[in-house]
Amino acid sequence: MIYPIACFKKGSLEKRRYFVQLGGAGLDASAIQAVDLKIKEQLGPIAYVLAGLKVLGKSLPEIQCNTAEGMQVEGKLVLLGNGAYYGGRFRVFPDANLDDGLIHAIVFQDVKCFQLPWRGIGLFLNKLHTQSGVTYLKSTSLELKSEGQAYFELEGEVVGQLPANFQMSSKKLQVIVPD
């Protein structure tokens, strides 16, 4: 399996963070930051949904996504995937394969409360990537940046602020599995 790397700055230090499956910026990372740990203990994954609804009412920065191939798309939420699934059983990146050498991204032009039912239907039908206001990208390298303060997450953990570059590693991940 080939895996992606996020390159970003933390203060004056250059950071590199490897990840296997997923990442996100905008609403996604803001919701993770807003999760109340006591509520998470009580409700589990529903705490993320509640935090997302709380953040949805706030103004989100515009995120610019640039691919190595020269495509440029802007939105309020960017989901990144190395594999097909996001959040468990949801096939958000239908063309993704863990060893295809590409980072898959879905960019949501905007995120509004009134869009939630439509987005939810798309999510459950595995058709989110085909909806209006959603752009599906595939590339060996993506750059995310924002004029406003925007965070990004990898594997469900907020790790930094934009700008960040996401690219595929030339190394293969070695996994040790117990018998």
Does residue 179 form part of some domain?
Answer: no
CATH assignment of the domain containing 88: 2.60.200.40
Measured between its terminal Cα atoms, the distance across the chain in Å is 20
Residue 107, pLDDT > 70, answer yes
Does residue 177 form part of some domain?
Answer: no
Does residue 121 form part of some domain?
Answer: yes
Closest C-alpha to 105, from 133, 66, 61, 131: 66
| CA distances (Å), origin 50, targets 39, 41, 44, 62, 171 | 9, 13, 11, 22, 38
- Position 20 scores a pLDDT of 86
Helix ranges (H only) for the chain are: 27-34, 37-43, 46-56, 116-124
Residue 28, pLDDT > 70, answer yes
Does residue 136 form part of some domain?
Answer: yes
Please write the tens of the pLDDT for every residue from 56-105: 878 889 999 999 999 999 999 999 999 888 777 778 999 898 888 899 99
- Position 90 scores a pLDDT of 79
Give residues with Cβ within 8 angstroms of 122, minimum separation 6. 128, 130, 131, 134
Parallel/antiparallel/unpaired status of strands 77-81 and 85-86:
unpaired
Does residue 178 form part of some domain?
Answer: no
The alpha carbons of the chain give a radius of gyration, in whole angstroms, of 16
Closest C-alpha to 159, from 47, 2, 4, 9: 9
- Position 91 scores a pLDDT of 85
- Position 173 scores a pLDDT of 63
Please write the tens of the pLDDT for every residue from 143-179: 999 998 999 999 999 999 999 999 988 766 666 788 7
Q: How many domains does the chain have?
A: 1
| Euclidean distance between CA atoms 148 and 48, whole angstroms | 23
pLDDT confidence band for 34 (50 / 70 / 90): very high
Section 99-112 average pLDDT? 92
Q: Given 3-state DSSP classes, what are the helix, strand and coil percentages for the chain, each rounded to the nearest 5?
A: 25, 40, 35
Q: Which pTM value belongs to this model?
A: 0.89
Domain extent for 60: 2-172
Closest C-alpha to 19, from 44, 1, 40, 37: 1
Q: Which amino acid is at 123?
A: L
